Structure 1
């Protein structure tokens, strides 16, 4: 039986990943800090309340997994502060980087021994188009998402000889509550309306549209599948082709 672990699987992209892997025949294990969100996830999933950036908590999660892991989706992340670099508090920087980057690191750290021993496995890290472009007023988030790509490529080189693959998905603007919060904060920081920021994001893509969480999830399932058996170390954008990451232009 194929088995997948998805961090931050209680809502948004992580929840969509859980549903997509479930539909593809995987046993699904999800973690999230939000116990209420996990309660709403399908009863057939294994669910663990855990902070992806806590080594102690993630060690417990992995210890409870009985058997091999076919795939791990290191998906946990937070938006972090929206402000100019000089106005960002160090504590806010550290929290954003910790969840986004250290959460991914811990997923790889604990998945690696299992996958190497099994001689197979696929790790999918959720980066962002912010990991490809600079994003004004989003320094902690963009920095962490750039670093995730370096982490992924390094892991792919280390784990490849053992038959283990790693790739990063870079979502663009994804419809949903989290992006709504980003829109509101950017509007306030740039003295714009929410709709102006929204239109800027949409117009900055070739497809002139936000993406859906299911679009990201479908790519994750593909990357975990045998159809992608020789795809590793790649940065794959699912963003409608972002042309201009700064919505004010």
Structure 2
């Protein structure tokens, strides 16, 4: 099966935010494709559960702490001597409030995780992959990385920035054979989306079901949520040789929201 461009046999993939949601689903997709998977995140217990399920490795790491990120990459490198794929997925929804009223401490915290934390991971991945002259980096942006959205200024800012960084790094690392692309999921079902709906419901004073239909499911032409494993399969496309000629790209995974 080594001649199958969709396979990741012999490759090591780091997935940040790997303990739940898209990260967890992608860990399963990558492992089934033959990758050695390293899942990282702040909470050890869910990471270990995912690692055990996919025959991978769990490394606790808060991406907003540069020292922890450097240590996590050092530990990952000891496993196979390489880092072939980085899914830069760790992040949070950030504060949900209008710009005029948003708590700026919460705003900065969101940026430190979603953007600064992503950069810490990108810097380490760039060093490792430049030295080995190969690799695939996948940044987890969002539909909110190409269009603004009310009440979500911190999240929007962080995800827009990731698109620009993706294009910048693709140009920087292309000459050494490293590809850098971005995924832009739409509304993905799961606990994170449930929490966002609840917070929006409280902030807007109306039922979560109405917000769900108006903003997430009815506006998609497929009239449904995106499943986490569907984002994982798109990540596999970028991680594998299926996309060997593609870099600096961004892909919507959104059930048709255009």
Question: What's the TM-score once normalised by structure 2's chain length?
Answer: 0.92
Distance apart, 1:190 and its partner CA: 1.9
Residue 191 of structure 1, CA deviation: 2.1
Which position in structure 2 is the counterpart of 1:210? Answer: 225
Deviation for aligned residue 1:235 = 1.1
Which aligned segments of 4 or more residues in structure 1 are displaced greater than 3 angstroms? Answer: none
What is aligned with 2:157? 143
SS at structure 1 position matched to 2:14: strand
Aligned to 2:100, what secondary structure does the other structure show? helix
Q: CA RMSD in A?
A: 0.9
The unaligned stretches of length 5 or more in structure 2 are 1-9
Contact 1:22 1:28 in 2 (8 A): yes
Match 1:48 to one of 53, 56, 59: 59
Partners of 2:21 and 2:126 in 1: how far apart? 26
What do the CA deviations read for 1:107-154 (whole angstroms, capped 9, x no partner)? Answer: 110011211121111000100111111110000001100001011110
Structure 2 Cα separation of the partners of residues 207 and 124 of structure 1: 25
Matched, 1:23 2:32: yes
Q: 2:178 aligns with which of 130, 155, 164?
A: 164
Kept after mapping to 2: 8 A contact 1:74/1:103: no
* 1:3–1:27 Cα contact (<8 Å) kept: yes
Q: Distance in 2 between matches of 1:42 and 1:55?
A: 23
Further displaced range: 172-181 or 197-206? 197-206
For residues 151-195 of structure 1, give each alpha carbon's deviation from its aligned partner in whole angstroms, at most 9, with x where no partner exists.
111011100000000000001110000000111111222222010
Q: How many residues align?
A: 243
Secondary structure at 1:125 match in 2:
strand
CA distance in structure 2 between the partners assigned to 1:94 and 1:11 by the alignment? 24
Query: What TM-score results when the alignment is normalised by the length of structure 1?
Result: 0.95
1:246 is aligned to none
